[in-house]
Amino acid sequence: MTRIIASIFTTLLTIAMTLGAMYILVDATEYVTSLESPIDRATAMGAELLLGVILLLGTVWLATHLAVRIFSPKGGATNGGAMNDTLTKDMNDTTYQGGAVV
Protein backbone atom coordinates (compact mmCIF):
# COMPACT_ATOMS: atom_id res chain seq x y z
CA MET A 1 0.00 0.00 0.00
CA THR A 2 2.86 2.35 0.80
CA ARG A 3 4.41 1.70 -2.59
CA ILE A 4 1.15 2.64 -4.37
CA ILE A 5 0.79 5.88 -2.42
CA ALA A 6 4.44 6.75 -3.06
CA SER A 7 3.98 6.05 -6.78
CA ILE A 8 0.93 8.31 -6.97
CA PHE A 9 2.73 11.03 -5.00
CA THR A 10 5.78 10.79 -7.27
CA THR A 11 3.62 11.04 -10.38
CA LEU A 12 1.76 14.08 -9.07
CA LEU A 13 5.00 15.72 -7.94
CA THR A 14 6.59 15.15 -11.35
CA ILE A 15 3.58 16.61 -13.15
CA ALA A 16 3.51 19.64 -10.82
CA MET A 17 7.25 20.26 -11.22
CA THR A 18 7.08 19.96 -15.02
CA LEU A 19 4.13 22.33 -15.27
CA GLY A 20 5.82 24.75 -12.87
CA ALA A 21 9.03 24.66 -14.90
CA MET A 22 7.11 25.28 -18.12
CA TYR A 23 5.23 28.20 -16.55
CA ILE A 24 8.51 29.76 -15.40
CA LEU A 25 10.08 29.25 -18.83
CA VAL A 26 7.12 30.75 -20.70
CA ASP A 27 7.14 33.73 -18.36
CA ALA A 28 10.90 34.12 -18.89
CA THR A 29 10.46 33.89 -22.67
CA GLU A 30 7.85 36.65 -22.63
CA TYR A 31 10.23 38.82 -20.61
CA VAL A 32 13.22 38.09 -22.85
CA THR A 33 11.34 38.91 -26.05
CA SER A 34 10.24 42.25 -24.59
CA LEU A 35 13.84 43.45 -24.09
CA GLU A 36 14.93 46.22 -26.46
CA SER A 37 18.72 45.94 -26.36
CA PRO A 38 20.19 43.11 -28.48
CA ILE A 39 23.00 42.55 -25.98
CA ASP A 40 20.58 42.27 -23.07
CA ARG A 41 18.32 40.00 -25.11
CA ALA A 42 21.20 37.69 -26.07
CA THR A 43 22.38 37.48 -22.46
CA ALA A 44 18.85 36.81 -21.24
CA MET A 45 18.37 34.08 -23.90
CA GLY A 46 21.51 32.32 -22.68
CA ALA A 47 20.34 32.56 -19.08
CA GLU A 48 16.91 31.27 -20.10
CA LEU A 49 18.43 28.26 -21.84
CA LEU A 50 20.51 27.49 -18.76
CA LEU A 51 17.44 27.89 -16.54
CA GLY A 52 15.43 25.55 -18.76
CA VAL A 53 18.11 22.88 -18.72
CA ILE A 54 18.45 23.07 -14.93
CA LEU A 55 14.70 23.02 -14.29
CA LEU A 56 13.79 20.23 -16.69
CA LEU A 57 16.81 18.03 -15.95
CA GLY A 58 16.15 18.51 -12.24
CA THR A 59 12.59 17.34 -12.74
CA VAL A 60 13.70 14.26 -14.66
CA TRP A 61 16.40 13.49 -12.10
CA LEU A 62 14.00 13.76 -9.18
CA ALA A 63 11.34 11.61 -10.85
CA THR A 64 13.89 8.93 -11.76
CA HIS A 65 15.51 9.03 -8.32
CA LEU A 66 12.18 8.64 -6.54
CA ALA A 67 11.06 5.85 -8.87
CA VAL A 68 14.25 3.91 -8.22
CA ARG A 69 13.88 4.40 -4.47
CA ILE A 70 10.26 3.23 -4.58
CA PHE A 71 10.68 0.19 -6.80
CA SER A 72 14.14 -1.02 -5.79
CA PRO A 73 14.33 -4.37 -3.98
CA LYS A 74 14.12 -4.10 -0.22
CA GLY A 75 17.07 -6.45 0.33
CA GLY A 76 19.53 -3.59 0.37
CA ALA A 77 22.18 -2.43 -2.03
CA THR A 78 24.56 -4.96 -3.52
CA ASN A 79 28.15 -4.29 -4.40
CA GLY A 80 27.80 -5.91 -7.79
CA GLY A 81 29.79 -9.00 -6.81
CA ALA A 82 27.70 -11.51 -8.74
CA MET A 83 27.87 -9.52 -11.95
CA ASN A 84 31.61 -8.96 -11.62
CA ASP A 85 32.21 -12.66 -10.92
CA THR A 86 30.21 -13.62 -14.02
CA LEU A 87 32.10 -11.19 -16.23
CA THR A 88 35.46 -12.32 -14.89
CA LYS A 89 34.57 -15.98 -15.44
CA ASP A 90 33.37 -15.29 -19.02
CA MET A 91 36.50 -13.31 -19.90
CA ASN A 92 38.82 -15.98 -18.53
CA ASP A 93 36.98 -18.85 -20.26
CA THR A 94 38.85 -19.43 -23.52
CA THR A 95 37.18 -22.65 -24.59
CA TYR A 96 35.22 -22.61 -27.84
CA GLN A 97 31.51 -23.17 -27.28
CA GLY A 98 30.52 -23.66 -30.93
CA GLY A 99 28.70 -21.36 -33.30
CA ALA A 100 29.87 -19.05 -36.01
CA VAL A 101 33.03 -17.05 -35.51
CA VAL A 102 32.87 -13.72 -37.27
Give the per-residue pLDDT at 16: 94
The total number of structural domains in the chain stands at 1
Q: Which domain holds residue 57?
A: 2-72
28 domain residue, yes or no: yes
Average of pLDDT values for 53-70? 92
pLDDT higher than threshold 70 for residue 23? yes
89 domain residue, yes or no: no
The burial of 59, by beta-carbon neighbours within 10 Å (0-12 exposed, 13-18 middle, 19 or more buried), is given as: buried
29 domain residue, yes or no: yes
Question: What percent of the chain is predicted at pLDDT more than 90?
Answer: 58
pLDDT higher than threshold 90 for residue 82? no
Average of pLDDT values for 78-98? 57
102 or 87, which is more confident: 102
